[in-house]
Amino acid sequence: MVFATAAFVGLVFFFVYAIKFMKKDVLKKWLMWLLIVGLVGALLTCGLGWKGMKKMRDDFGPKWGQTTEVPALPASTK
């Protein structure tokens, strides 16, 4: 959590600095490159993350008493 907070504060400071001191065309160029790299990176690595999540669920779920089944709703008593 500490590292995520530090990264977020760093990004905010970078954006404030960039908006204040960078020229508009340079700022647009940086924005486009960062968006492209972020989207391509997310698309390339999302499969790896899904495989890891599935493996952890399959390996550790039953041992801890967790199931993948949805529990039935309790019958109403009137």
* Reported pTM: 0.50
End-to-end Cα distance, the chain: 48
Task: State yes or no: pLDDT of 17 exceeds 80.
Answer: yes
Residue 73 belongs to a domain: no
Band of residue 77 on the pLDDT scale cut at 50, 70, 90: low
In angstroms, the CA 19 to CA 69 distance is 50
Residue 54 belongs to a domain: yes
Task: State yes or no: pLDDT of 30 exceeds 60.
Answer: yes
Q: How many CA atoms lie within 13 A of 57 on its CB side?
A: 9
The average pLDDT across 52-62 equals 71
Of 51 and 60, more confident: 51
48 lies in which domain range?
23-59
**What's the pLDDT score for residue 24?**
85
In sign, the C-alpha dihedral spanning 34, 35, 40, 42 is positive
Number of domains composing the chain: 1
The answer to whether the CB of 30 falls within 8 A of the CB of 18 is yes
Of 9 and 77, more confident: 9
